[in-house]
Amino acid sequence: MSRRGLLRSTLGGAVSAAVAGQSVLAADAPKPPRKLLLLFLSGGASQLETFDPKPDSKYGGPFRPIATSIPGIQVGELLPHTARILDRLAVIRSVNTGETSHFRGHYLLQSGRKVPGYPVLGSVMAQLMERPGDELPGYVTMRRHNPQAYTDVGDAGFLGPRYEGVMIIDGKPPANIRRPDSIDVAAVTTRERIRRLTNQRFLERRSPRSIQSYTESYQKADALMKRREVFDLEQESAADRARYGDHHFGRNCLLARRLLEAGVHCVKVAHHDWDAHFENFHWQRQRCLEFDRTFVTLMDDFRDRGLLEETLVVIMGEMGRTPRINYYGGRDHWGDAWSMAFAGCGIKPGVVLGKTNELGTEVIDGAVDAGDLFHTILAAMGLDAKGNHQVGGRDNPIGDPASSVIQEVLA
């Protein structure tokens, strides 16, 4: 073999070995942990004005259906941007929980249970997805300040304070996450050393369980102070803030994207004022104007940033609205037949599951309940809702054993 041929052969072999080595490393590299974004339409969005229009029904209302990116499937005209990307979503038109109370509905849809005391989805994710070295909280929940109404239904339940959600109100960072200027770094270091020594001495004669929650709360606060920059929307460009919208929901969705990118396992964003007992069509128009463009902006950003492959997005409320229009031009509480949607990791896009009758008053095909949705969300996250929590040395099923996964919407 010539000298040139020998060099070419040697170089080619080295390159092939390097490429093969990189392929093995890529195959062995752990996949990033999955994340959950829960967009909660608080008050109960009208399924007839959004995902399940009934244009020829006496209860259909004034808005017309429009075509979507899924052939033959229509949504309400108030969701033109969502209609364009519906082939990226899985829509369920046959949710039947029978629940018409806001407070109980919030808890039921987030915990999959009617019995109180169980952890909600965010707290379950915080526990099951927890990793050594996590600095940020596992669960962050966002809402406006007033009226609070029924949005706060309890988070961690029997899992304890460690997995409670960190509350973001009106888009403001958690209180006291910045060190006061009057306390320098040396003083903080000294105080921390004294605190550790005092804790150690205190625990020598007492059960650690009784004060563990205080220690965990301190650790969570300390971690927030170290990563406080992720809560600062001023670090986003003015153009990006404008794309998401100058309203609570837009700012919270942009903040949710920052938090998920930074490593938070679950974020819940509450979008308020869907409870339209009067002037329903005015209120649905206003709510959809905010939701529609912001949601699609978020979905496009998730896709472009590679987040959609590792993030499950869930759109739900605590109930739907009555097909019948009341005396005040409103729709009242309705739990028997309504809609929700999924997108992102673990979900089969372009699926529309379930069917309601011509009036939209009942489910006639593919009925699912809150327990089924809970099982399905965990399955899409790569988790098993049939597993157990350990509570006081006893097994407690993570999901309702009477419920099951909705296989039709899973990838």
Say which residues have a Cβ less than 8 Å from residue 162's Cβ, sequence separation at least 6. 127, 156, 212, 213, 216, 220
pLDDT value of residue 14 = 47
Pairing of strands 394-397, 388-391: antiparallel
Rounded to whole angstroms, how far apart are CA atoms 194 and 188?
10
> What amino acid occupies position 59?
Y
pLDDT value of residue 147 = 66
Question: What DSSP element (H or E) covers 65?
Answer: strand 65-67
For 157-177, give the secondary structure using H, E and C: HHHCHHHCCEEEECCECCCCC
Tokens of 251: 């700012």
Contact 95, 369 (CB under 8 A): yes
Rounded to whole angstroms, how far apart are CA atoms 15 and 8?
10
Pairing of strands 355-356, 363-365: antiparallel
Give the chain's largest Cα–Cα span: 94
User: Sign of the CA dihedral 89, 90, 91, 96?
Assistant: negative
Among 86, 105, 112, 99, which residue's Cα sits nearest to residue 151? 105
Q: One digit per residue, pLDDT tens: the chain, 411 residues? A: 455 554 445 445 544 444 455 544 445 556 778 999 999 999 999 999 999 999 999 999 999 999 999 999 999 999 999 999 999 999 999 999 999 999 999 999 999 999 999 999 999 999 999 988 788 889 999 998 876 556 777 789 999 888 999 888 887 777 666 667 777 777 767 877 887 777 777 766 665 655 565 566 566 666 666 677 888 899 999 999 999 999 999 999 999 999 999 999 999 999 999 999 999 999 999 999 999 999 999 999 999 999 999 999 999 999 999 999 999 999 999 999 999 999 999 999 999 999 999 999 999 999 999 999 999 999 999 999 999 998 888 999 999 999 999 999 999
Rounded to whole angstroms, how far apart are CA atoms 405 and 411?
12
Tokens of 133: 């070295």
| Domain annotation for the chain: domains and CATH numbers | 27-173+238-409 (3.40.720.10), 177-231 (no CATH)
Size of the chain, expressed as the number of residues it contains:
411
Residue 348 is given by DSSP the state -
Which pTM value belongs to this model? 0.85
Residue 146 is given by DSSP the state S
Tokens of 322: 């009555």
How many secondary structure helices (H) and strands (E) does the chain include? 10, 16
